[in-house]
């Protein structure tokens, strides 16, 4: 067996070309991919009322998308969609088109949904979500929320015929 430098150079160039073509293909494919990051934070962290959840979607991808719905997911997995106008703080004007780097922020009022959320206890784990025009879900990390305490004489109806007291 003899050492042929031309054959080794040919093999090295073939490996180099395959690496470059794979990297280029990955770059082209990722450029067309949609990437949305959804965050949920307490209102206090955003300088708002403590009974507000701030849910934000940021388009981290190169491809624009249209956001159509936003809300929260309860501990039971049920979705609460924020209606078009809900008091002083409301959801963003939806549908909203998000280009690269643009964000869309909505607000969820815990006080208005307290009677429903209380069935899960004083401390609940909620998750923010956005849905785009193509019906794809984008979820935030779960967030721990401590619901406000009711006075001792207030009762919350959990199910028909069953009363629960806040302690």
Q: 13-39 pLDDT, tens per residue?
A: 889 999 999 988 887 776 667 789 999
Q: Would you report the helix, strand and coil content of the chain in percent, each value rounded to 5?
A: 25, 40, 40
> Does residue 139 carry a pLDDT above 80?
yes
- Can you tell me the mean pLDDT for 53-76? 91
pLDDT for 114 = 82
Q: What are phi and psi of 81, to 5 degrees?
A: -95, 130
Q: What are phi and psi of 95, to 5 degrees?
A: -75, 150
Distances (CA, A) of 151 to 117, 119, 121: 17, 16, 15
pLDDT for 151 = 59
Q: 89-113 pLDDT, tens per residue?
A: 555 678 889 998 899 999 998 888 8
* Residues spanned by the domain of 16: 1-31
The CATH number linked to 128 is 2.60.40.10
pLDDT for 163 = 44
Candidates 85, 76, 78; CA nearest to 106 is 85
* 9 shares a domain with 42: no
Q: 72-93 pLDDT, tens per residue?
A: 999 999 999 887 655 445 556 7
* 145 shares a domain with 98: yes
Instruction: Identify the helix (H) or strand (E) that includes residue 16.
Output: helix 5-31
Q: How many structural domains is the chain composed of?
A: 2
* 56 shares a domain with 114: yes
* 15 shares a domain with 44: no
More confident residue, 16 or 45: 16
* 26 shares a domain with 40: no
pTM: 0.68
- Can you tell me the mean pLDDT for 57-63? 89
Q: What is the mean pLDDT of the chain?
A: 81
pLDDT for 167 = 38
């Amino acid at each position: 067996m003899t050492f042929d430098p031309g054959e080794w150079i040919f093999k090295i160039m073939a490996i180099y070309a395959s690496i470059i073509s794979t990297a280029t293909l990955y770059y082209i494919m990722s450029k067309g991919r949609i990437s949305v990051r959804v965050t949920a934070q307490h209102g206090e962290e955003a300088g708002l009322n403590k009974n507000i959840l701030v849910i934000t979607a940021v388009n981290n991808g190169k491809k624009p998308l249209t956001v159509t719905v936003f809300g929260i997911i309860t501990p039971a997995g049920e979705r609460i969609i924020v209606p078009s106008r809900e008091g002083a703080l409301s959801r963003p004007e939806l549908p909203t088109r998000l280009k690269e780097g643009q964000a869309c922020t909505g607000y969820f009022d815990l006080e208005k949904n307290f009677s429903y959320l209380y069935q899960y206890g004083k401390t609940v784990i909620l998750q923010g979500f956005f849905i785009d025009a193509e019906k794809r879900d984008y979820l935030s990390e779960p967030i721990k929320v401590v619901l406000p305490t009711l006075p001792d004489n207030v009762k919350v109806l959990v199910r028909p015929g069953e009363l629960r007291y806040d302690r």
